[in-house]
Amino acid sequence: MAKKSYKNKYTYSTGDLTGQISLILLSLIIFFSPFFRGLFFAENQRLALIFSAILFWLVCLYKYQRKDLKFFANPLDYLVLALPIVYLLSTFIAINYALAVDEVLENILYFFVFWSTIRIAISKDRIEKLFIVIFLSAIGVALAGLFTASGIVVIKDGFIPNDGGTIASTFQYKNTLAIFLVSAIYIGSYLWQKVTNNLWKITIAAANLLLITVLFASNSHGGYIIYAIYLVVYWFLNTPENRFGLIVSTLSLSILGFLGSELFLSIIAEQSYGVAWLILLALLAAGAAGQWIALKFKHKVKVINVSFRHLLVTTITAGIVGAIVLAYMGIFQVLMEKIHMHGAIERLTMYKDVLNMIIEKPLIGWGGGAWQETYNLFQSYGYTARQVHSYFLQVAVETGLIGLIIALSSWVIYLIIAFQLYKKSVRDQQDRRLIATLICTVLAIISHAVFDFDLSLSALTIVMFILMGCLVAIHINGEADNKEPLKRLNLKPNHKIAISTIIILVVITVSSALMYAENMLTSAMGEARKGNLQEAMEMTQEAITFNPLNSVNYRWASQLHYALGDKETAINYSEKAIELASYNQDYYADLSVQYLSNNQFKKAVEVANKAVELAPLKHKYYEQLSIILTNVALNKIKSQNNEEASKYIEQSLAIPQQIKVTVDSVPPNLQKEWEYWQPLKVTDRTKLNLGIANYLNGNTNKATSYIESIAQNQQLQKDVLLWQAVIAQYQGDEQRVTEALKKAEQAKLNIRNDFKGLSNLKPIDK
């Protein structure tokens, strides 16, 4: 029986208007997503979600017009939908409701594009059109990175000049940029093999060279490794008659791209931007010329078939020779040192901390955004990492083992489908290239995401799900004649279109409300900076109305009320913020100040201690605690309640020991790694408060020692001079009092009124 090609398995007409509009809308989502900061931030993801919801509705309409009532066409439909459902369930026990809702919406976005792609990518022609869009988007991102590096445009964190220069472009994160470019390079290689026109071949080769150059300019070591691994896999998966040309092309472009990136970055470092662009253009011209020469003599050279066995032997031999050369050059030693470097140890330590979180809530997790809210409580030393550097661990910590099983099952099924399709395509050169490209692009993305947070940037995740959808579409259309139809709900077409309409209206309404709330909050902050506090308050209330789950809105409302002198209302809003984000240590620190100013001293100390409990390795919360304890003690002494004051003074004086115990609990090897961040220590501001506490406790020698130790800190000069004068006054040293007051006057620091208020304050009698 003759093999039926995928292109003859159409289930819908490709000329249908609704289908064409859907394809265009999907293409627009693909192309523009990277240019909105890679869709890392929730406000950008919501805009993409609105467009994907419209896309979903159009595809539903497209299906229902043809009486196709089957909503679920394959197991991956169920699994990809299951993930946002699990995220929704975890929202009910989430520790930050706003972040949890954001994750639900983000995963709905992925389902919409995945489900829609399967129904849109109904032919090889359509898949190739999506390939072209991804490729063009990558070229735009690469050019944006080069423009940023050369100062033509400004993208925040788009280019980092340190360590020889790093291009991150619109993604603002080098590793995600690298993996996006890697997937686009494989797609470019497919298009290069597919086209027959020599001019197009030369153009695509030059474009691929541009992408490879920017890939190497990203300085992403993980990106390089993934590129190399799956490039070899791509060679193996291609047909024997195509392998030689593909290997020669990709290797030559990779060598040129590497040399070009080194030259470009070195010249950019000297700020010779014009020369850098001339070098780049010359590089592209050289690549195009080389391609032209290869094409010119192609027909004069016999086609070289590279069998699987020959390629395997050559690869192993090259690997052994390369390893010997690297060992001789001492490169292996450098690589081993890198394994033990700060970044690797930090990553492994983070994974251990994540596992501890998972063990604590294994079933359904902590809810979306849990890691960035709670990692300060679980971290083994004081690193800063607001994202879990592993997609699967992030899913596990946010949705528990249920979510992890769903995610892993999705990939198992995807690999099974990929294997089945590749096996069937072995005798068809074109189908084999297409399947090989889809396999390598998707696996390159997910492989790197195992060890990084690439998929937190939704632009890359959208590309991944679209490519997955293309492969599933091939599978469904290829099996359409032989498979039994899946059971479906017994609903009429008009009922289903009504349900899908309701779904997208809800999604669009929720997304629009959240976007409006975000805009109101941003506007409120702008008005506050202008001094228009009342207008800012009205806008903040509007933000709360449209997004009542966002703790940030309540925190901002609290700060505005506090600035307006309404302390009670400010406290109420702060308490509400903590209800919505109960692990946010900053909210407790804010509330401690408000309680203190409202003379609720016991509560002020309680919440200041809670902030330390939630972030025991961050020194700023010990500072805050020392400030609260010292001020409470001062107020107790002023009200002649020395017994209560003594308790708070003792707690303040215990802070250095509290810090020491915390630091000693960190293993020595991790204490060394901690030096790369901000090691926990008794800071100057804490020392100031320890000096005040010692003075209030009657120990003027220790008080003087602490305050003199921070005398050179210009930020604390006012407080240092004030307490030097107060202590000197108590000791009867009028000369030192005069000197301190005179220094304050010379520095234009007004401390006389504070000095008068404190000069009569006597330490506690022991």
Mean pLDDT by 10 residues, the chain (766 residues): 44 64 95 96 94 93 75 91 96 94 96 96 93 97 96 92 89 95 97 91 95 95 93 91 88 93 92 92 92 78 72 82 70 54 78 95 94 93 90 96 96 95 83 94 96 94 97 81 44 68 92 95 94 94 96 96 94 96 95 95 96 94 96 91 92 95 90 80 94 91 92 91 90 88 87 84 76
Could you tell me the maximum CA-CA distance found in the chain, to the nearest angstrom? 109
What's the pLDDT score for residue 498? 82
Residue 317 to residue 296: CA distance in whole angstroms: 31
Residue type, 760: N
Distance, CA of 143 to CA of 167 (rounded, Å): 11
- Position 299 scores a pLDDT of 65
Helices and strands, number each (H, E), in the chain: 32, 2
β-partners of residue 159 are: 167
Looking at residue 428, its pLDDT comes to 76
Other beta carbons within 10 angstroms of residue 300's beta carbon come to 6
Tell me which H or E stretch contains 160: strand 159-160
| pLDDT at 481 (0 to 100) | 42
The amino acid at residue 511 is S
Closest CA to 271 of 151, 356, 378: 151
Distance in angstroms (rounded) separating the CA atoms of residues 457 and 173: 9
User: Do the Cβ atoms of 445 and 463 come closer than 8 Å?
Assistant: yes
Say if CB 65 and CB 22 are below 8 A apart.
Answer: no
Q: Which amino acid would we find at residue 672?
A: K
Segment holding 95, helix H or strand E:
none
DSSP class of 485: P
For the chain, helix, strand, coil in percent to 5 are 75, 0, 20
pLDDT attached to residue 294:
83
Cα distances (Å, whole numbers) of residue 347 to 352, 375, 395: 9, 13, 17
Cα distances from 490 to residues 69, 493, 495, in angstroms, run: 9, 10, 10
**What pLDDT is attached to residue 659?**
94
| Nearest one of 289, 264, 259, 260 to 275, comparing CA atoms | 264
Query: With contact defined as beta carbons under 8 Å apart, do 626 and 690 qualify?
Result: yes
3-state secondary structure of 126: helix
Cβ(189)–Cβ(250) below 8 Å? yes
pLDDT digits (tens, 9 = 90+) for 79-101: 999 999 999 999 999 999 999 99
Local structure of 96: helix, strand or coil: strand
Q: 167 — phi, psi (to 5°)?
A: -90, 125
**Rounded-to-integer distance, Cα 721 and Cα 715, Å:** 12
pLDDT for position 750: 87
Three-state DSSP class for residue 388: coil
For the full predicted model, state whether its pTM sits above 0.85. yes
Q: Minimal CA–CA distance to 462: which of 40, 132, 128?
A: 40
Q: How many CB atoms lie within 10 A of CB 102?
A: 22
pLDDT of residue 302: 64
pLDDT of the residue at 97? 95
